[in-house]
Structures are given as structure tokens and as C-alpha cells.
Amino acid sequence: MTTPADKPLVLVVDDETGILETLGILLKNAGFRVQTALGGKLGIDMLQSATPDIVLTDVRMPSVGGLELLAAVRGKDADLPVILMTAQADLRSAIQAVNAGAFYYIQKPFVNDELIAILRRAAEHRQLRVENRTLRQEIRRRDSSGPGRPVGRSKPWLDVLRLAETVAPTESLVLIQGESGTGKEVVARYIHDLSLRNGGPFLSINCGALPESLLESELFGHTKGSFTGAVKDKAGLFTAAAEGTFFLDEIGETTPAIQVKLLRVLQSREVIPVGATEAIDTDTRVLAATNRDLEEEMKRGNFRGDLFYRLNVFTLHLPPLRQRAEDIPLLATTFLTRLGEVHGGPAKRLSDEALEAMQVYAWPGNVRELENALERAVILTPGEEIAHSVLPERVTQRKAEAVVSERAAVNPTLDVIERSYILWVLQNEGGNKSRAADVLGIDPSTLYRKLSRYGVEA
């Protein structure tokens, strides 16, 4: 239920009492709260004691005119929208008003419905600006107080974080499941930061980015002379992560031989380097992540059942970005703030049209795709506001797709779904495999391997 305080407050300024009374009745009937000021001087005085959501003012008034009032508003609150009215078809005044930061310029006599529509757009603009300012303050507080919660305040995301906070102080193995780009490593780092091992290292490896022989050496280490190029002993990451946390990303991409050795480490808490005969104790907490359905992979014989059950102690399911669209403004503000710091300038902001397009788009590449799109937009934007036109075409031209269809499901296999998705992303990226791999959240070598498996020329 909307309360009176929820209704936008409009300050109407004019030097004619009759116009103030008429507009007051019109705006109240349209659902606005209204304050009136007879003349620009009184309007400026009223701004000192209260801040409306919108200012609607005549341009030509004795003593203090609309442009002077606009300057006073901009000096107090640059995000407060000002709509100027005039009975004079004065193009020069219109240009002055727009250059000075007016939200809109409307000529008397105007159509009532047109004025109401403009006011409602201004109210939405004001709300977005206030939310944006609040989000920036929240980000600054978070940054100044050290590591905080991963960005997001939607219910699906907060549910995940609460579970992460519950399991973090324990020594339990955690399996993080979610589509590519949903923030699995971010959540893993958050668990590490809240754990009793936060004074130790946090190491990670993408299991799908390396061939089996190299992955085995990176995980478990090797001895001098164990293979060509092994000129000295090397400790594996399980050993290097002692007293800390080791994050195994995309564990579903590992081969059966690697899975056997991982199972041994998780069961016995010791590793045997390549070429060695004696085991080495390891003291590290293991977190793992995958974008695959490991239970389905296990049923199909692609993933060991004993390893799956060993991993499946405590599972977190990360929601895709399309299921937490309300987090997009906060995520966008966070990324734009960071990009401003990287590029050495003030953080850019999204236009209302750009933000709306971003909230409608499905983001198949999830948060990673969102961040990449914003970085591109920042590079292409010379000013402070990111326009709709500089966003990638896939964001601005695609309409929201139905999640549910009336057609009967054809039950495609996981391989068919994965192949279709990869080829779809590749097509959207114009055949550029590096960009496609980035959107998919996998290493280019993994993408080439999958394309080869699908019979697609790399």
C-alpha cells in the first residue's frame, strides 16, 4: 500500500496564483504531493528548509526567474530534476535551460496528460539517482571497512551468503555450483575470509584450463627428473596452501585419473608428488566449484561417484544473474566505481535507458559478462553518463526471453544444452573465441577442446 510519504513531492513555482492553484489540483489528482511558491524568490527560500523530488517552475518571473531558480537547485542538489514552463516560444531560453541542467522544457499551454507523463519520468529519474547515491555510499563504507559481503541484496543471493557464513567457520568441504560467471570464486574467497584459516593463503586453480599432465604437477607437485623439464623438485598447490584454503574451480572438468588422486587427498589428507614414492601430509581446507551437474555426470559415468559423495558435504547453489536482476544496479555501481579508480577519473553513471536495458537482458554470461560490458561502455564514453547506445548490441536489442514455454519439453541431454549454449555465445561474439571464452568463464584452451569434441573447426 502506498503511503502519502511515498508519493513524489513537487515544488511548483509561478508568479500567478491561479496557475499555482490549477496545477496543485491537477498534480494531487495524479498522485503527487504538492508545495507551491509564489515567485522564484520564495521558491529558493523554500528549498533551504526542504528538498522536493521535482521542481516545476515558470521561466519568466519578476525578480528571480526560472533559470536563476534552476541554478540555485543545481547548487543544492545536482540530481534534483527541474522542469521549466514558459509561454514564450523562446528557443534561446530552451537551449540555456538544457545546458544548465534542466530535466525538461515545456511550453504553455500544454496538454495535462503530457505534463503528468513528464513528471512521472522525472520522479523515476529522481528515485534512480537517490538509489545510486545510496549505493555509492554503501560501497565506500564497505571498501573503507575492509572485505565485506559479496555485492548483492536480492533474496536468492542473501540466502546463499547466509549459508556461506554458516559453514565458513567450520572445516567442512564446500561444493559451490552455478553457471559460469555467477561469482563462485568470489563466494569461495568470502568463505575463506570468514574462516579460522583467513590468516593463511587462498590459492585457486581452474581445473579445466590445463592438460592432465600439467594439472597433476600443479596440484600435487613433482620431483626432480620425474619427467622431461622437471629440473628440480616442485611443491604442489595442496602443499603451498598449507594452513589456508585451496579452491578447485571447475572440478567437473577433471579426468578420471585426476579424480582418483583428488579422492585420495580428500580422504587421507596427504599427497604424493609426481615421481615420488612417499606421501606428504597436507593441511589445507578444500573448496570446489563446478558449472556442471555432477550428479548427472556421475550417472553418465563422467565423474566418479565416490568423489562426488566426498565433495557433496555442503553444497551452495549460486543463482544466475537473470534470477537476481534487482542486484544489477548495485553491481553496476560497484563495477563503475572500480573502473573509475582504474582509469583515474570519476566513476561514470548509467543513463536511465541504459540501466533499463541491462535489467531486461538475460545475461547468459552472468556477472562476468555484466562487468565486461560495463568496462567496454566506460572506454567508449567520453562524458560522465553511459548512454544506451554504447552498450553491446546483444544487450540493447535482445528482448526478455520467456523462461517458461507452453510447448512440451523435449528433454535434451546436458551435452546438447552445453553445445548449443557455447555455439550461441560464439555466434553472439562474432566468432571471436577469446571473447566467447571470457563470456563463458572458461580458458580458451578449454573452448578449443570442446569445439573439437563437437566437430566444429577451431
Instruction: Tell me the average pLDDT across 251-272.
Output: 92
Q: Identify the CATH assignment for 155-317 out of 3.40.50.300, 3.40.50.11540, 3.30.70.260, 3.30.750.200.
A: 3.40.50.300
CA distance 223 to 236: 10
CA distance 46 to 416: 65
Tell me the CATH number for domain 321-403. Answer: 1.10.8.60
CA distance 313 to 221: 26
Q: pLDDT tens for residues 42-64?
A: 998 888 777 899 999 998 888 88
Q: What is the pLDDT of residue 321?
A: 94
- Looking at the predicted structure, is the pLDDT value of residue 357 above 50? yes
Query: Which ranges of 349-432 would DSSP assign to H, the alpha helix?
Result: 352-360, 366-380, 393-397, 414-428
Beta bridge partners of 317: 177
| Angle of the 366-380 helix axis to the 328-343 helix axis, nearest 10 | 50
Cis before 382? omega within 30? no
Rg (CA), the chain: 29
- Looking at the predicted structure, is the pLDDT value of residue 140 above 70? no
| Closest by CA position to 297, among listed 409, 417, 404 | 417
4-137 shares its CATH topology with 405-458 = no
Residue 241: how many CB atoms within 10 A of its CB?
Answer: 23
Q: Identify the CATH assignment for 405-458 out of 3.40.50.1370, 1.10.10.60, 1.10.10.10, 1.10.1050.10.
A: 1.10.10.60
Q: pLDDT tens for residues 299-320?
A: 889 999 999 999 988 999 999 9
| Closest by CA position to 179, among listed 294, 288, 320 | 320
Total residue count of the chain as it appears in this document: 458
- Looking at the predicted structure, is the pLDDT value of residue 407 above 80? no
270-271 vs 280-281, strand pairing mode: antiparallel
Q: Where are the domains of the chain?
A: 4-137, 155-317, 321-403, 405-458
User: Which amino acid makes up residue 60?
Assistant: R
Phi, psi of 317 (to 5 degrees): -105, 110
Tell which wins on pLDDT, 343 or 250.
Answer: 250
b/e for 58-85, b at 16 or more Cβ within 10 A? bbebeebbbbbbbebbeeebeebbbbbb
- Looking at the predicted structure, is the pLDDT value of residue 392 above 60? yes
CA distance 68 to 74: 10
Q: What is the pLDDT of residue 405?
A: 43
Tell me the CATH number for domain 4-137. Answer: 3.40.50.2300
CA distance 450 to 458: 9
pTM of the model: 0.59
Phi, psi of 267 (to 5 degrees): -80, -45
Which residue pairs, CB below 8 angstroms and at least 24 apart, start in 89-95?
90/59, 93/59, 93/67
Q: What is the pLDDT of residue 370?
A: 94
**Taking the alpha carbons of 128, 129, 134, 138 in that order, is the dihedral positive or negative?**
positive
